[in-house]
Amino acid sequence: MDSINLYEKRVFSQNGEDGMIEELFARIGTTNRFFVEFGVEGGVECLSRNLAYAHQWSGVLIEGHPLKYIYLQQTYAALPQVATHQAFITRENIASLFAQFRVPTQFDLLSIDLDGIDYWVWQALAAYKPRVVIIEYNASFPPPQKMVVAYDPSFAWNGTTYFGASLTSLAELGKKLGYALIGTDSRGVNAFFVRRELLGLARFAERTPQEAYHPPSYGPDGGGHPRGNGPYLEI
């Protein structure tokens, strides 16, 4: 089986995720062509923009920052099938927000990029069954290290390596939720998970965190963000 990294292509995404997403759904097909993405800032480089603009998907975009949300509204003003909402996401409110925004229990793509409590929010969405989940991982903690920031609903990223969760910790959570890790983008930002029953259709092998990992190639020196410290769990 080939690697999903062979299909990296940037249309709107910050890295090569657009091409990886297109290839994955070309293989597994689509159901309702519905996405949910949060932590999208102004929506310019988010992972679902290519799906909305080039492939006419519908979905929900959520951003918490008031000014960034204004830009988000402007970016998608011409796409009535995409609903934008301003909300600060926590593990306590995410399921109720999904219900409020009429997110179906099963849909095609979930993208999580909160720069902080990503692990805890994905864990809180166990009742929802997106076919593909893309979630940011903290590449400064390479496998087999386990690291998840201690839960804080008011967490705000300070630009350091203290954020999110390691790839190993996310892979373990994915297994519990019914997902298989199939790769990460080559810059070491996002991890790709597919529902386990779709692995045959995907024709991408399940990868161990060690096999899927890419080191960070971002930050001020191309080797990740400045070192930061804070309470974390090894789960």
pLDDT averaged over 10-residue windows placed end to end, the chain, 235 residues: 96 96 98 97 96 98 96 97 97 98 98 97 98 98 98 95 98 98 98 98 98 94 90 97
> Between β-strands 148-149 and 132-136, what pairing exists: parallel, antiparallel or unpaired?
unpaired
Q: How many residues does the chain have?
A: 235
- Write down the pLDDT at residue 1: 85
User: In terms of pTM, does the model score above 0.95?
Assistant: yes
What pLDDT score was predicted for residue 222? 81
40 and 46 in contact (C-beta within 8 Å)? yes
Q: Based on the structure, what is the number of domains in the chain?
A: 1
pLDDT of residue 219: 84
C-alpha span between 216 and 142 (Å, rounded): 9
Q: What is the pLDDT of residue 82?
A: 98
Q: Which domain holds residue 149?
A: 4-233
- Which residues sit opposite 135 in a β-bridge? 112, 191
What CATH code is carried by the domain that includes residue 156? Answer: 3.40.50.150
What confidence score (pLDDT) does residue 201 get?
A: 98
Amino acid at 48: S
The whole-number pLDDT of residue 81 equals 98
pLDDT at 33 (0 to 100): 98
